Amino acid sequence: MTNSTSIGNTILHVDMDAFYASVEQRENPSLVGKPVVVGGSADGRGVVAAASYEARAHGIHSAMSARRATQLCPHAVFIKPRIDFYADVSKQIRHIFEQFSPLVEPISLDEAFLDVSGTEKLLGPALKIGRDIKRQIRDELGLVASVGIAPNKFLAKIASDLEKPDALVVVAPDRIQSFLDPLPVGRIWGVGKVSAESLRRISITTIGQLRQLPKETLIQLFGASGEHYWLLAQGIDQRKVVPDREAKSISSETTFAEDIVELESLNAWLITLVEQVSRRLRNHSLKGRTVELKVRFSDFKSLTRSMTLEQSTDITAELLHAARELLEKRIPEKHLPVRLLGFGVSNFDQSNMTQLLLFDEPVREQQRSLDIATDEIAKKFGKGAIHRAATPKSPKDRSIQ
């Protein structure tokens, strides 16, 4: 048995099913059973942020242009995203998670890892915990979650996705290889279309076949990524579940169902990522000075760019300004289609004693007040009545790393 099974961890990956669309269907029961598209518009403008399972049956998926979605399903119901509202629901879900474990690592508004290794004696086996989480989310919030249970993050993430929607899949420590081996190599984190095609040329299409290759062969083919592929094929993933308060950085990322080229579409997704990260910073009373943009292209090569701000901040407008500067000025203008986009903040100031810039402070206070008001409205009313301006102002003169 691989050493991934000897560490005694029990990890849950909880993923909300069609989260944005499901929330909208919950709020408006007349939408239940209909193809709901969150984002974009029926006249073909904008980008799909999420789609209900009824819409997915027509081939609609996130990151698709609204124009294409309309062509695939002319009778789809388009709804403007309410990120503040979804964030409020996400916070309610997070409170449920924290009843089962103090070790909760949010990945985005609709998914998180939980380490229940230390709570199983108190709350029962992991399978019972998974069922209880699903039941509580359904009973209290009227939503459906899929849960994967496994000895590590990689396996739990795959497990939660295999039988969606409403999945509950357990990967026992003694069944890791029988679970992984039949799956396509594309299930391994980092294996994109280009890598999968390279493997297909040598007749490797499943994880089981990949596992049989010598590690050295994979390193020759893919460099440092080859060792990463080999470890995951063995079911080995030593990463721990790290709660926000203990993290050295807070980040969020999304992998697109279809690669994106248009800057407008990338900017639209960047707003969502920055909103998620900034709200998590404020929820944990953290402010950071370093922002980082992560871009993974269609050839699966990744690029990261970072910027150090003059002051640590949790202000959405400032973080969004920095993120856009990195996206528009630090990423090559002519680039391959984008497969993944991520945004993160690090270099935290735990003292909350930040130096004030005399002339910028009134503007910062206005933006801070806007964040507080938006957070409070989402918390109290959950209706997303206030939406952030598309192009917020922010202090200038930042130093670039």
Question: What are the residue numbers of the active site?
Answer: 111
Check: CB of residue 277 under 8 Å from CB of residue 313.
no
| DSSP bridge pairs for 313 | 288
Q: Where are the alpha helices (DSSP H) in 99-184?
A: 120-123, 126-141, 153-162, 176-180
Ordered strands of the 302-313 beta sheet:
249-260, 338-348, 288-297, 302-313, 399-400
Which backbone phi and psi does 138 adopt, to 5 degrees?
-70, -45
Helix, strand and coil content of the chain, in percent to the nearest 5, comes to 45, 20, 35
Check: CB of residue 37 under 8 Å from CB of residue 48.
yes
Cβ of 209: how many Cβ atoms within 10 Å?
A: 15
Q: Is 172 strand, coil or helix?
A: coil
Give CA–CA dist 97/87, Å, rounded: 15
Q: Where are the alpha helices (DSSP H) in 206-304?
A: 207-211, 215-222, 224-233, 263-283
Measure the N-to-C terminal CA separation of the chain; round to a whole number of Å: 44
Give CA–CA dist 204/187, Å, rounded: 13
What's the token pair of residue 114?
A: 């939980």
Give CA–CA dist 110/122, Å, rounded: 26
| DSSP bridge pairs for 47 | 65
